[in-house]
Structure 1
């Protein structure tokens, strides 16, 4: 970032007090928004929308049904009214999700939102309400500063990322577009410009139940599944291991769960195997399913008593669309703006791949150059003791401001 950009980013950042950023993050953590609630995001979306409006940022609530809500906000778009900009192409989209996983087994108060030893505590602190607070405050600071943007800055606080990514899918279906996007999943402020696609599959082997005293009358599905496991591990896994993409990384297959039979004295009439398949450009959700289906068909040709099928674990009719990979060239201005910021802020930066899946895959598939960049350690997400360093949240806010100044054509206040 040049001297002018640093100066403008500094002007903007001065308009958001550190205590204010931390207080907002704590408030968001204190509002339950986990899956299993009747209306998971209703309260938190309403609060965030009101907070943005109160601070002069254009914002709207977008109902998605079944208690799911998006918040869409913007700065840098001229014109009257209080509704956010919704036309053309924005310079940058900040994207973060409002939902969290459940709280069973968590240590202490999962909705504490307290700060202890410079660390924010509670469910969602790292995944990803700390980032959402930093993004919201970036918009508020830009609004207060009077710094003008040539292209609008958008902020989408979305629903249902932890399950079907309903929020980001609806956002894109509504026509919202941006040149660049930044997803605030926890990366410890490393710049992650790629990740793999994701498909969950299940293989069900059908046998025939019989009494354990006369096993010859049945077909043991557990025994038949053994042939499937052998074929997957000895034949398919070595082939998958050869597939590596320079940005998304290596393709993988994980055998995650197996279950079969009813009791020891009954021949198992069915057996279920669930798989996690991380796929890369050149593959697709359908191709990785078809690859396993072909393997099962081959086993069936060799064994007349073998019957099995593979299907996606999600209902494609109710939840269409894939979970695609994220691939952004490291020369992208978005990558470079964040790299420059981190080099100045912390004396260096790390460029890497996000090990999990994120809504960034959907944004990337839509043609938006996207990176994952957020506060905290992914290893603590979904954990029984979820926490996020306050310093990361503050630096993330500054990084989001720096990216907006660089990519939305910032000019001095009028």
Structure 2
């Protein structure tokens, strides 16, 4: 049955590529146009494939598409998780072609979201269609969640689905984020957690010609973030060789002041923190309080605090877990070589799903090394799309099985 499905994908790959192009052509930037139009295009693709779906729109234009393909059983099975939003394209003059007019050059499809991750979403849907068109009856169901908001924290997409008990109780899940490395397909089973720290500084307004009468919140913020940069300590433990080490970046965003000739009364800065198991929100906030207190001991006018506004857990699946084994088997059937597990940076919605069930962190088309994820001239390989569609179809068959013929 595997070969029948892979032959279907090979023969009909043009349809897959056209579906990717249709999705990439839609501006679904977050923040910006958001996901609604891309969700409508995906619904058209699913309708044409004969796959049932529903939509979830908790806020205007914030749409997730939830598709399913039935089976004899109603529990277990497989969940495909991907996202429809993309990051803004940035300076358009830096693109060799319009980011929302996809072009194929030298075997690669260029456009914003081609790798991250409309290529993966299209490959999910095409793999489901290939299984359906091959007339294979599954023992267990297959689900596709093409969600909103992954690029801005996932709170309007996967997190809301979890909070509303809309994640099915499957045997395993995957996020279709890019996990090809210089042309070699791989499995990503770990990712660091992610936390956002908000640093606030308060001062006293005054006329800028009389700075001694005010307290400059921006200047004091500068003292605080330099102190954090110099003295903040993160654990050096390594729980798994493929788990990215914790990192921090302070001052990734900063805003303060309301007018050039007013001493600023308030300033706010953000700190990005990537976490490993064992790190806690309480210990991080305690360390930051200690650093700020030391700054105050030198500059008594400093009035600042640092608090965690978001804390998402790291993900760590073992090499011999069911999800990793099945993921590897599906790739090997598709391309003929045994894949390895690799490390990649960045977080995916797997960090949420793994609180409920095993979910591969990244398992999909797009080259993590040459695909320019979030950069100019983002692209995905045509053959990479085809190979991953085959792997997804194989994964459906491997996890969901085939009913016995009567």
Please report the TM-score for the alignment, with normalisation by the length of structure 1.
0.84
In the TM superposition, residue 62 of structure 1 has moved relative to its aligned partner by 2.4
Distance 1:245 1:209 in 2: 48
Distance 1:133 1:202 in 2: 37
In the TM superposition, residue 235 of structure 1 has moved relative to its aligned partner by 2.7
SS of residue matched to 2:81:
strand
1:30–1:234 CA distance, 2 compared to 1 (3 A) = closer
**CA deviation map 1:59-117 (0-9, x unaligned):** 22222221122211122424xxxxxxxx9533211111111122342322222233222
CA RMSD of the aligned region, Å? 2.8
1:59–1:258 CA distance, 2 compared to 1 (3 A) = closer
1:364 matches 2:350: no
1:319 maps to none
Given the alignment, which residue of 64, 75, 89 partners 1:70?
Answer: 64
**CA deviation map 1:342-366 (0-9, x unaligned):** 4562634231233101101011122
In the TM superposition, residue 276 of structure 1 has moved relative to its aligned partner by 0.5
1:98 maps to 84
Distance 2:322 2:358 in 1: 12
SS of residue matched to 1:132:
helix
Greater Cα offset, 56-65 or 288-297: 288-297
1:142 matches 2:131: yes
**CA deviation map 1:186-222 (0-9, x unaligned):** 1213211011111222212223345566554443445
1:375 maps to 365
2:14 maps to 19
Deviation >6 Å, runs of 4+: 262-266
| Correspondences of 1:34-183 after superposition (within 5 Å) | 34-37=29-32, 40-78=34-72, 89-106=75-92, 107=95, 108-165=97-154, 166-172=156-162, 173-176=164-167, 177-183=169-175
Given the alignment, which residue of 376, 398, 401 partners 1:406?
Answer: 398
| Correspondences of 1:162-241 after superposition (within 5 Å) | 162-165=151-154, 166-172=156-162, 173-176=164-167, 177-188=169-180, 189-210=185-206, 215-237=211-233, 240-241=234-235
In the TM superposition, residue 313 of structure 1 has moved relative to its aligned partner by 5.6
1:250 matches 2:245: yes
Question: Does the 8 A contact of 2:24 with 2:112 survive in 1?
Answer: yes
SS of residue matched to 2:232:
helix
In the TM superposition, residue 169 of structure 1 has moved relative to its aligned partner by 1.6
Question: Does the 8 A contact of 2:190 with 2:317 survive in 1?
Answer: yes
- How many residues get paired? 389
Distance 1:30 1:225 in 2: 42
Distance 1:241 1:168 in 2: 29
Greater Cα offset, 175-184 or 200-209: 200-209
Distance 1:270 1:45 in 2: 40
Question: Does the 8 A contact of 2:123 with 2:388 survive in 1?
Answer: yes
**CA deviation map 1:241-283 (0-9, x unaligned):** 4243325332211122445567887655544432101112223
Distance 1:383 1:249 in 2: 21
1:340 maps to 329
Question: Does the 8 A contact of 2:330 with 2:392 survive in 1?
Answer: no
| Correspondences of 1:288-307 after superposition (within 5 Å) | 288-297=284-293, 299-300=295-296, 304-307=300-303
1:65–1:330 CA distance, 2 compared to 1 (3 A) = same
Greater Cα offset, 118-127 or 58-67: 58-67
Question: Does the 8 A contact of 1:145 with 1:413 survive in 2?
Answer: no
1:354 maps to 344
In the TM superposition, residue 158 of structure 1 has moved relative to its aligned partner by 0.9
Structure 2: gaps (5+ residues): none
Distance 1:148 1:294 in 2: 61
Distance 2:105 2:275 in 1: 40
